[in-house]
Amino acid sequence: MAVELEYLYSKIPPQFNVKLHTNSCFDKTIAWMHTVEEIEFIPMLHGDELVFNSGLSGTSEEWVRDYIDELNKVHAGGMVMSFRGKKKFPQKIVDYCNEIRFPIFSAAWTTPYIDIMRLFAEILLKNEQRETNLIAALKNAIYYPENEGLYLSHFERNGFFRDMAYTIIILSCHAYDNDEGNERLHKIEKSIRYVMGNTITYEEKGRLTILAAGSVMSKIQEETQKICGNDPNVYIGIGTMVDGIRDIHRSYENAYTAYQLTKTAIPKNLLSYDELGVYKILADVKEEAVYPAFVQETVGSLITYDEKNHTDYMKLLEIYFENECSAVKTSKAIYCHKNTLAYKLDKIKKILGYDILKNENRVKIMLAIYILRLGKEYFY
């Protein structure tokens, strides 16, 4: 529902005498407007409000700075303050607001706040209805792609044309309490909206789903990495870029696969479907019984032996294959004498009952290892 403050400012009629004093609107977005006269009432704000003040209480520079500090603490989107005659914001206040990137506006004493707020309310409510329709259209495109009547016209009326390039991004926050996690998602959503421009976003079940239109994949990956890739508590899956609205569901499925793998098989918090390799095939198998049967057939006897005898031969086999079946590399990796390693590898061969270095068996073992890395939900 939020709208860029810069856009709202551009819609204020000149006769209302509202002037921006900071260098810019600092990319702020506004969700609603409130009139707040006293500092003690500022904590009741929710964030992203444009706050109007009559200026009657702003009798000193110190009071105005304290007022702005409190607004900034609750993540208000900006402030409009009225002045009588030739009075204006002290330059120290303007400099401070530029420093903390908090936009401030002055208004004439006779400026009708109610008319500005009514104008902004109309814009915000219209935008909210637009976003609601677009989110419904996006969900329909994901879950009912064959029924174009549910989404195509909504998209095209709002600049999302049928033959544009589209990419879905799915992300979530973990290791936060609810408030922190929600706030982090909100900040990420705002940043992605600003950087990528033509987007549709919605949150569901703690996950943020983003449709990016028109951006090239390299930019999507680069900007997503900048915004949240360094946060180990944020998990991100990026789908395949598709060449039309009808294939958005495919990008969503790919993004969800990549997102799921960040938490299971591949220890990265940002994954693009295009870099999944063999996991593209493994994650696409729909028959639930395939995985457990294949794992049991290939390495089941070794897993059972480990469970009964409290050994770690399966882990050793995985490390051995990670090191290209090189005894020298594996010995160094596990700090084990090569003779001890040779004994353990021979034991593994006997338990499995086949030659682990035969090409066909090597492929089967690697596939079993990949499946095990997917997580238990894939094979139990």
**Cα dihedral value 322, 325, 327, 332, nearest 10:** -10
Whether 138 and 151 have beta carbons less than 8 Å apart is answered as yes
d(CA 97, CA 64): 11
Return d(Cα 365, Cα 338) in angstroms, integer: 22
Whole-prediction pTM? 0.70
Strand pairing report for 29-30 and 18-20: unpaired
Q: Identify the segments of the chain with pLDDT beneath 50.
A: 379-380
Domain with 193, as residue range(s), is: 126-282
The verdict on 266 and 138 lying in the same domain is: yes
Domain count, the chain: 3
- What pLDDT is recorded for position 309? 94
The reply to whether 20 and 58 lie within a common domain is yes
Q: Quick one: pLDDT at residue 102?
A: 97
Structure tokens at 75: 């993540």
193 plus 209 within the same structural domain: yes
At 13 the three-state DSSP class reads: coil
**Amino acid at the residue 372:** L
Task: Provide the pLDDT for residue 380.
Answer: 44
The CATH number for 52's domain is 3.40.1390.20
What pLDDT is stored for residue 140 in this prediction?
96
Of the candidates 256, 282, 308, which is a domain's last residue?
Answer: 282
Question: What is the pLDDT, as a whole number, of residue 205?
Answer: 85
Is the same domain home to 137 and 241? yes
Residue 160: count other Cβ atoms within 10 Å of its Cβ.
24
Q: Quote the pLDDT of residue 374.
A: 77
Same domain, 130 and 274: yes
pLDDT at 124: 96
* Angstrom distance (rounded) from CA 266 to CA 24: 42
CA distance 301 to 306: 9
pLDDT score of 300: 92
On whether both 154 and 266 belong to a single domain, the answer is yes
